[in-house]
Amino acid sequence: MICRENIAILFFSLSAECEIQRKTWLKKGSRKSNLSIARLFNTYNKSILKQTGLSIHHYDERQQIGQNFGERLANAHQKIFDQGYEAIITVGNDCLELNRLDWENIIQNISAGRSVLGPSLRDGAYLIGLTKTAFNYIDFQILPWQTNQLYTALNEYIHENTQQYFELPRLRDINNGQDLWTITHGSTISVRLKINLLRLLAVTHCPLFIQSFPPTLFYWLKDNSLRAPPQNSLV
């Protein structure tokens, strides 16, 4: 059994300033609007992770070391394992449905020595939980990261390095404006997070969103969005 104190969370993301250089959720929005969305993604996911009570290690571009994504992620894992942790749960900032997960069940499976995988709808992975014995530095870094072949390759990797793994439900990554439209029109994110997203969209006057909601809603959101909400209101 792995003690809870020996499980770390790796929050692996870019800073908001770097994130908007490769992702644009609002093509007709300003840089400031996209920056606000990126900051909201980071703040929200960190607020969810803090509720687990596990040690959180946030690696953005200032801490990441390597020539490509696989090297940077593998190096971050190695550094945390070298600190004495026996298992790492890795998540990024582009899934806004982490509130749906049973985190205690995830921790229990990791504690029992099982790997945990959370597949995304595009066949990537929004969560990877590995024990130290299941981590192979060389094989891990050469997986087809940031492609739709990742989840299949991760399954093969897990079967080669451990006997058991636990699979989580498929969730959506928010990579573009259409993903953002879908998530704000659904019921899988928290109400407060949805309100905060809609406030940002109301300020940008984004046509895609304005046409799909009552105009009175956007006037109310815009009038009530002058002050940023406190972090504990995001969940």
pLDDT > 90? residue 34: no
- Mean pLDDT across the chain: 85
- Which of the two residues, 85 and 222, has the higher pLDDT score? 85
Which segment of 7-21, 24-38, 116-130, 153-167 scores lowest on mean pLDDT? Answer: 24-38
- Which of the two residues, 85 and 187, has the higher pLDDT score? 85
Instruction: State both tokens at 41.
Output: 């993604």
Instruction: State both tokens at 172.
Output: 């959506």
pLDDT band at 180, cuts 50/70/90? confident
Write out the H or E segment, with its range, that includes residue 125. Answer: strand 125-131
Residue 24 has a pLDDT of 81
Cα torsion angle, 159, 147, 32, 171, sign: negative
Q: What is the C-alpha separation between 93 and 82, in angstroms, rounded?
A: 24
Residue 169 has a pLDDT of 95
Residue 191 has a pLDDT of 82
Instruction: State both tokens at 158.
Output: 């897990």
pLDDT > 80? residue 142: yes
- Alpha helical stretches, state H, the chain: 16-19, 31-50, 69-82, 103-111, 137-141, 150-161, 177-185, 191-204, 207-210, 215-223
Please state, in angstroms and as integers, the Cα–Cα distance from residue 175 to each residue in 20, 25, 102, 123, 149, following that order.
Answer: 11, 7, 24, 14, 17
Residue 23 has a pLDDT of 84
Q: What is the C-alpha separation between 235 and 232, in angstroms, rounded?
A: 7
Residue 226 has a pLDDT of 41
- Which of the two residues, 89 and 163, has the higher pLDDT score? 89
pLDDT > 70? residue 212: no
Q: What is the C-alpha separation between 134 and 87, in angstroms, rounded?
A: 9
Instruction: State both tokens at 125.
Output: 């992975």
pLDDT band at 220, cuts 50/70/90? very low
Residue 217 has a pLDDT of 47
Could you tell me the pTM of the whole model?
0.86
% residues pLDDT > 90 (the chain):
62
Q: What is the pLDDT of residues 55-68, one digit of tens each?
A: 999 999 999 999 99
Which domains does the chain show, CATH number per domain? 4-167 (3.90.550.10), 177-233 (no CATH)
